[in-house]
Amino acid sequence: MFLEHGVKLSVAACRKAIDQWGGDLSEITHVVATTCTNSANPGYDHYVIKQLGLNQSIEKVLLHGVGCSGGLAALRTAANIALGSSFRRKPARILVLACEISSTLVRSELDSIHKNQEVRIGVALFSDCASAVVIGNGFSNRYDEEPILELLDWDHRIIQETEKDLGFDVDPVGKCICPCFIIHVLTSNKAGKLF
C-alpha cells in the first residue's frame, strides 16, 4: 500500500518543490528522505527517485527510527551535507522528502478495537501526507534562485530516560503507536531541561 500510494504522493510533493525552487532535476545533488510508516528495502526513496527521473545513482540517505521528528532530522542531515559540499567548494541542491501513509495503521487499530474493545489514539490522530523541500548551499552558477527561508542553526537533544514515553513499533498486525505519554513529559520537570 505504501509503495503504491506513498511513492505517488511523494513524487507529486517533490515535483511541486522542484517547480517552486525553479531549478532543473539535473542540478539536484542529493536526496534525504524519511518515513516511519514503511520499511521496504530498497527504501521508498529509491522508487521516488526512479519515478521522478533523477539519476538513480544519486547520493541518498533514508532515515529510520526518528518518527515524527523525521522531517526536521532530514532537514538537519541535508544541511550538514550542504555544509560538507561547501567545504569541498561544490554546489549542493538537496531534495528533502518526508512521506507518511498513516492509513497503514488501521489494521492494528481495528485489531485492538476488535480484541480489546479499545479505541486507541493512533486511529484518530494520524493522517497521510508527503512533503518536500529543496535546500542548497551558496555555491551555484545561477542567480535566479529565490529562497524562502535561510537555516541559521539547529540542535538535536534526547530527553534522558523517556524511551517508553513515545514509541512506535511493529506488532503482528501492523504498527502500534503510543504517543500519549509525551504529554506527561512536557508538563513534568523533564520539560524544563528540554527547553
Partner 1 sequence: MFEDLVSRIPELVDQGKFKASDYDWALHPGGATVLSGVEKVMHLTPEHLRASYEIYITHGNSSSATIFSVMQRLTEGDTTDHIVACAFGPGIAVEMMILKRVKARSRTGTESPTETLVAEDVD
Residues assigned a catalytic role: 68
Nearest-approach distance from CB 157 to partner 1, in angstroms: 5
By beta-carbon proximity to partner 1, the closer residue of 83 and 113 is: 83
Question: What residues between 168 and 187 interact with partner 1 by CB under 8 A?
Answer: 168, 179, 182-183, 185-187
CA angle 146, 149, 134 (to 5 degrees): 70
Query: Measured between alpha carbons, how far is 71 from 141 in angstroms, rounded to an integer?
Result: 28
Using CB under 8 A as the binding criterion, the count of chain residues that bind partner 1 stands at 81
Query: Measured between alpha carbons, how far is 75 from 68 in angstroms, rounded to an integer?
Result: 13
Nearest-approach distance from CB 81 to partner 1, in angstroms: 10
Residue 195 interacts with partner 1 (CB under 8 A): yes or no: yes
Distances (CA, A) of 23 to 101, 118, 125, 147: 28, 50, 36, 12
Question: What residues between 13 and 72 interact with partner 1 by CB under 8 A?
Answer: 13, 16-17, 19-21, 34-37, 65-72
Question: What residues between 94 and 153 interact with partner 1 by CB under 8 A?
Answer: 98-100, 102, 121, 125-140, 143, 145-153
Query: Measured between alpha carbons, how far is 50 from 42 in angstroms, rounded to an integer?
Result: 12
